[in-house]
């Protein structure tokens, strides 16, 4: 099967995505372009539903919006504030440690390089790429489970992990699509191109998709 016309597929998704809930990091970015808030929202979002993350982020940011303010909050206060996000106790500790390190090493500023961001607790490549692209509008490709699944399902890449997918996309995907790629594919993956039994009969890019690995669909 041929890989899809990526330009045509993304052009269609840009129209379709307006009907779906925007990912939480996009919501935070619209309210504030502050890289620190985007970083903390990303940490909270891991393995947590978007609505829960959005509500927890707003409660937390009502208490503190910078590393110094966050560091003044006891871990127990952060835990109570962000509950019920997934792994809320671990994330509360990570948020305080991130704040401490930012103050100690970067004068409270969130670094704008992926390598430096990866040294912070709880920050993986997905989060680092999101902070760089959304917070600083620098080139990067954020690859989560949705991006990994869909690009393999399209036959655009052939990889076995999100990290491999990121590297494959960096080599293949036209640079002009990098920053918005995650914003398009995440809501598409949440609403139509789901892991099990995707809604292929309602898919706006079905004609471009060879449905690699799909054994059952709706």
What is the pLDDT, as a whole number, of residue 30? 73
Say which residue, 26 or 62, is predicted with more confidence: 62
Confidence of residue 25 (pLDDT cuts 50, 70, 90): confident
Summary mean pLDDT of the chain: 93
Is the distance from CB of 77 to CB of 63 less than 8 angstroms? yes
Residue range of the domain that includes 157: 6-21+141-208
Average pLDDT over residues 197-217: 94
Pair (16, 92) in one structural domain: no
What is the pLDDT, as a whole number, of residue 64? 98
Query: Is the pLDDT reported for residue 216 higher than 90?
Result: yes
- What span, in angstroms and rounded, lies between the C-alpha atoms of 46 and 83? 13
Query: Is the pLDDT reported for residue 103 higher than 50?
Result: yes
Percentage, residues of the chain above pLDDT 70: 98
Structural domains of the chain, count: 2
Residue from 111, 113, 205 nearest 153 by CA: 205
CATH of the domain at 152: 1.10.1670.10
**pTM higher than 0.85, yes or no?**
yes
Query: Is the pLDDT reported for residue 119 higher than 90?
Result: yes
- What span, in angstroms and rounded, lies between the C-alpha atoms of 10 and 14? 6
Domain presence at residue 61: yes
Q: Which class for 100: exposed (0-12), middle (13-18), buried (19 or more C-beta within 10 A)?
A: middle
Query: Is the pLDDT reported for residue 141 higher than 90?
Result: yes
- Supply φ then ψ for residue 39, to 5 degrees: -60, -50
Domain presence at residue 1: no
What is the pLDDT, as a whole number, of residue 2? 53
Domain presence at residue 72: yes
Query: Is the pLDDT reported for residue 1 higher than 60?
Result: no
Last residue in a domain, options 112, 136, 160: 136
Rg value, the chain, Cα: 18
Pair (98, 28) in one structural domain: yes
Query: Is the pLDDT reported for residue 22 higher than 90?
Result: no
Pair (100, 42) in one structural domain: yes
Average pLDDT over residues 119-130: 94
Say which residue, 117 or 51, is predicted with more confidence: 117
What is the pLDDT, as a whole number, of residue 4? 67
């Amino acid at each position: 099967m041929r890989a899809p016309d990526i330009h045509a597929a993304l052009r269609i998704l840009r129209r379709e995505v307006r009907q779906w809930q925007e990912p939480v990091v996009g919501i935070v970015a619209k309210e504030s372009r502050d890289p620190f808030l985007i970083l903390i929202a990303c940490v909270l979002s891991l393995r947590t539903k978007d609505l829960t993350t959005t509500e927890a982020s707003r409660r937390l940011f009502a208490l503190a919006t910078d590393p110094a303010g966050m560091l003044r909050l006891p871990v127990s206060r952060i835990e109570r504030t962000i509950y019920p996000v997934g792994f809320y106790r671990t994330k509360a500790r990570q948020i305080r440690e991130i704040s401490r390190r930012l103050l100690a090493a970067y004068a409270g500023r969130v670094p704008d390089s992926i390598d430096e961001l990866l040294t912070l607790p709880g920050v993986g490549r997905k989060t680092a790429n999101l902070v760089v692209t959304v917070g600083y509008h620098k080139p990067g490709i954020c690859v989560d489970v949705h991006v990994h699944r869909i690009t393999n399902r399209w036959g655009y890449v052939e990889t076995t992990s999100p990290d491999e997918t990121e590297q494959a996309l960096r080599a293949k995907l036209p640079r002009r699509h990098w920053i918005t790629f995650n914003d398009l594919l995440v809501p598409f993956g949440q609403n139509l191109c789901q892991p099990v039994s995707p809604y292929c009969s309602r898919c706006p890019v079905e004609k471009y998709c060879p449905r690699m690995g799909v054994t059952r669909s709706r």
